[in-house]
Amino acid sequence: MAEAVATVTENGDAAAGSRLPQLLEIGRRLLGEVEDTTESTNSRFIQEKVKRGLESLEKASRMMAQLDLFSLNEELEEISSADLKYLMVPALQGALTLKQVSVSHRLEQIQAARAHYMDFLKRCQSYQVTKFELPPSLDSPPGKKSVDAPVGSRQSLVAMASRRQAKIERYKQKKELENKLASLESAMESGRADEEQVREYYLLHLQKWINISLEEIESIDQEIVILKAQDAGKQASSSRMPPQSRLPTKPFILTRDTAQAKVFGSGYPSLATMTVNEWYEQRQKWDTLKNTTVNLSQEAEQSQKETKSEEDDEDTVHRKRHWDDWKDTHPRGYGNRQNMG
């Protein structure tokens, strides 16, 4: 199949729009910038790149479907070397979708990313790009999933050992893939790569993204379990929370006269009613009682002060009288006998 370089609008007609290679390159470049940046993923600048990258890859995906670029009836050898790179579009979509940061929509985002990764893996398995085991889908029956087997059972132990061995193989393959890609990178960038090198380069990229997709799906499945458990816990907590109870306030209605009070009283028997005059008289009585209490308190305090002052005056008079009596019986110089012969 020849390289898909035709320009297509969203309606499928040829037009002066973005070419498919350009859309793919924009998506790849923006993903690389997001992954290599030291800036926070939560920043508006980074999230804008994520949005633009996803929009570009979405356009590329629609264009691939309109061009019928890949068919399940063909073999891997039938796909041109230049078109192999377009098989990576769903994987790139999954990677960028995981870069979105929205706490309230996190579950939907990681489920969408998983769907993109699964789409990519199914295509690669269909074309037999490399040998790997496809992860179970989220809607698979419980009996089909080895992870649901009883802990310690033979099936569970075999599945755990198989996954562990697959991880080891992927790790070894990762190092080998990186070395091979590095050796082909300079030839691809300079444009000196021949047909065989171009094909090997893109097949190595597909294998790299297969390993990434398998690892990401495993992490996504663990996060989905955690998020669903948190949602279930929040729902259970809210259902167990008793309704807040507080005593209702008893309202009353101020009316202009007794007749109006009777009307409201008969119409609304649950409401306490009083006329304005009654309310005023009640308020006046309360103010009078308050003023009386304050006056009594002030008088008691003043009386206490006067009593204390009188007691102090009596002590002063008593001391003066005692001093006068003592001077009458003891003349001046009394008791000073030291200089007498």
pLDDT for 17: 41
For range 327-341, the mean pLDDT: 59
Helix (H, G, I), strand (E, B) or coil at 16: strand
Give the pLDDT confidence score for residue 174 in this predicted structure.
85
Q: Give dist(CA 187, CA 211) in Å, integer.
A: 24
Work out the pLDDT band at 144, boundaries 50, 70, 90: very low
Please, what is the average pLDDT of the chain? 78
Which amino acid type is present at position 267? G
pTM: 0.62
pLDDT for 2: 45
Q: What is the pLDDT of residues 279-296, one digit of tens each?
A: 667 777 777 766 666 666
Question: What type of residue is 196?
Answer: E
Sequence-separated (6 or more) residues with CB below 8 Å from residue 156: 146, 147, 149, 150
Residue 322 clears pLDDT 80, i.e. is over it: no
Mean pLDDT of 220-234: 90
Rg of the chain (C-alpha set): 46
Question: Which has more confidence, 147 or 285?
Answer: 285
Instruction: Return the pLDDT at 103.
Output: 84
Tokens at residue 321, please?
């009288």
Contact assessment for residue 206 and residue 200, using Cβ atoms and an 8 Å cutoff: no
Greater model confidence, 229 or 271: 229
For residue 200, the cross-strand partners are none
Q: Residue 146 pLDDT more than 50?
A: no
Pairwise CA distance, residues 185 & 134, whole Å: 29
- For range 324-337, the mean pLDDT: 64
Backbone angles phi, psi at 18, to 5 degrees: -70, 140
Tell me the CA distances in angstroms from 66 to 4, 6, 69, 87, 91, one per residue in order: 11, 11, 8, 15, 19
Return the pLDDT at 135.
92
For the domain made up of 7-139+209-233, the CATH class stated in words is: mainly alpha
Average pLDDT over residues 46-62: 97
Q: Which of these, 32, 70, 84, 89, lies nearest to 197 by C-alpha position? A: 84
Instruction: Report how far residue 341's alpha carbon sits from residue 337's, in angstroms, rounded to the nearest whole number.
Output: 9
pLDDT confidence tier of residue 34, bands split at 50, 70 and 90: very high
Q: Is the model more confident about 159 or about 124?
A: 124
Q: pLDDT value at position 7?
A: 43
Cα 181 off chain centre by: 38
Enumerate the β-bridge partners of residue 8. 14
- Which tokens sit at 34? 């997001």
Spell out the domain ranges in the chain.
7-139+209-233, 253-325
Of the two residues 324 and 221, the one the predictor is more confident about is 221
Mean pLDDT of 29-35: 96
